[in-house]
Amino acid sequence: MDLVQPCDRVDCAAVTVTPTAPRAADAARNLDELRWEARLLALPEPFYARVAAEPLQSPYLVGFNPAAAELLGLHPAAASEADFVRAIAGARPIAGTDPVALRYSGHQFGVYVPQLGDGRALLLGEVVRDGPGPDGLRTEVQLKGSGRTPFSRGGDGRAVLRSTIREYLGCEAMHGLGVPTTRALAVVGSDERVMREGMETTAVLVRLASSHLRFGSFEMFARIGRPELVRALADFVLATQLPALAPGDYLGLLQEAVTRTAHMVAAWQAVGFTHGVMNSDNMSILGLTLDYGPFSFMEGFDMEHVPNHSDHEGRYAFGRQPGVALWNLGCLASALQSLLPPEVARPALASFAATFASAFEAHFQRKLGLAEWRGESDEILLRGLFRVLAAQQVDYPRFFRLLCDYPDAAALDALRGLMADPRGFDAWAEFYRERLVSEAARDADQRRAAMRAANPKYVLRGHLAERAIAQAQQHDFTEVDRLLHILAAPFDEQPEHAEYALPAPPGSEPVALSCSS
């Protein structure tokens, strides 16, 4: 596939469970009423450090996500309580929690960094709800931007409002698109300022996940020669996150990481998501999109698209993401060598290519509205489309959304209108029309409906996020709430919000992003 570019540094089915929402009468009205546990604390202290949050000054609520609150069994009315804001801001402890910062290392831009860790995040623990299985439904809750930890490396431990809003909206946008991801419950802000690329106000994000463990969690202890700690962590992941696998099935653990990561990155490519900083410490052991920094949803189609202006070599460009994912999985396999000799791990790593290709083809079969994937001939069709889009950097989400109504005359005119020179598109469109005709038995209206369910009308475009951030910096949070609502249903028409499906107005300044937060 032309959408998959190799990472020149390569050396070597995600399942989402949505718990039933609690009845309003049963939902907790306060964070203290939730049932908190901390299974991670069964691991020895080298894996974490106990830390108390540093209170934000004069905190206020920026955003609250009722859909994420359902995961915890938390009533939406909880957000209206001043005590909720104080708890998130670190001004008071939450009963039942035992906050810790996790220790890990990782490869950053291909270079190993011996110790990283949660330099500005605290894991409060797991919220447990009744559910299937002996362990119930469990969700880890983490505060991001909660102050200094032993792993802050001289930093202030704060997150800024700008990046916090981007992550809050970004991960919920990805969830709406069906991509495996961490979730976001709330953002609490403060007028307290810190220096980044300029003076910026601070904020705390409440992040949710089944687990926040990452590849770098294993790399840390393998690199310092502590195989017993690598084994302890692997056993913990098997017992708590992968209970379907047998105890001691370390190959199964690696295979799960490979399979889930392949599915995740295939979904990224399908929706045009570029992570921006795919360091191994930013890779989830469960194949969740983790650590939203300088990410973007690609607009003008460009295989070399790089949202992070700190990535001077384009290591994490859009088209290189599958290769980087495999490289990072190689780092994980290396960290597991005391449990899995290379010759045992190698077949699991080798399975990445086929798993990714299968998931990738399935996504684009749906996006193109094909009843089946016909191997090489459909690969030729898709490669031809990518060449057309890349030649003129056509708006990626708009093109595929308009394609849902092809070959209607109005849709064809709109698609041609996206091209400065439509001749290449015209030739491809005839090829595509013939391909659809060959499936004439399929009802056209059903095909269009299926394509609309695979091609979002709304993604988090850069100018939309910047507008919400600019208004939030003036204490107007209506646009943050509006975007959260729109992005929760990205495949719906939402005619009242049609302007949010459009690119930035002509002459708009491009959004520049970096790793600073």
Tokens found for residue 284: 């989830």
- How does pLDDT run across 73-118, given as a tens digit for each residue? 999 999 998 899 999 999 999 999 999 999 999 999 999 999 899 9
Per-residue pLDDT of 112-149, as tens digits, reads 999 899 999 999 999 999 888 777 899 999 999 999 99
The residues annotated with a catalytic role in the active site are: 281
- The pLDDT tens digits of the residues spanning 221-277 come to 999 999 999 999 999 999 999 999 999 999 999 999 999 999 999 999 999 999 999
For residue 507, the SS3 value is coil
Q: Residue 135 has what pLDDT?
A: 79
Quick one: what percent of the chain has pLDDT higher than 70?
95
Is residue 25 scored above 70 in pLDDT? no
Residue 12 has pLDDT above 50, yes or no: no
Nearest to 233 by CA among 90, 335, 347, 120: 335
The DSSP 8-state label assigned to residue 134 in this structure reads: T
Whether the CB-CB separation of 50 and 100 falls below 8 Å is answered with: yes
Among candidates 24, 450, 20, 46, which has minimal Cα distance to 226?
Answer: 46
User: Residue 9: which pLDDT band, with cuts at 50, 70 and 90?
Assistant: very low
Q: Which pLDDT belongs to residue 18?
A: 41
The percent of residues above 90 in pLDDT, for the chain, comes to: 88
Note the pLDDT of residue 512.
73
pLDDT of residue 507: 81
Q: What is the pLDDT of residues 352-367, one digit of tens each?
A: 999 999 999 999 999 9
pLDDT given for residue 17 in this prediction:
36
The torsion angles phi and psi of 61, rounded to 5 degrees, stand at -80, 130
Task: Indicate if the pLDDT at residue 21 is higher than 50.
Answer: no
Give pLDDT, residue 513: 83
* Whether the predicted pLDDT of 14 surpasses 90: no
Q: Among candidates 318, 452, 322, which has minimal Cα distance to 393?
A: 318
| Domain spans in the chain, listed from the N-terminal domain onward | 31-213, 227-365, 370-452
Q: What SS3 string covers 351-397?
A: HHHHHHHHHHHHHHHHHCCCCCCCCHHHHHHHHHHHHHHHHHCCEHH
- What is the C-alpha to C-alpha distance for residues 282 and 169, in angstroms, rounded to an integer? 18
In the predicted model, is pLDDT for residue 164 greater than 70?
A: yes
**What pLDDT score does 15 carry?**
32
Contact 50, 97 (CB under 8 A): no
Helix (H) or strand (E) holding 296: strand 296-297
pLDDT band for position 167 (cuts 50, 70, 90): very high
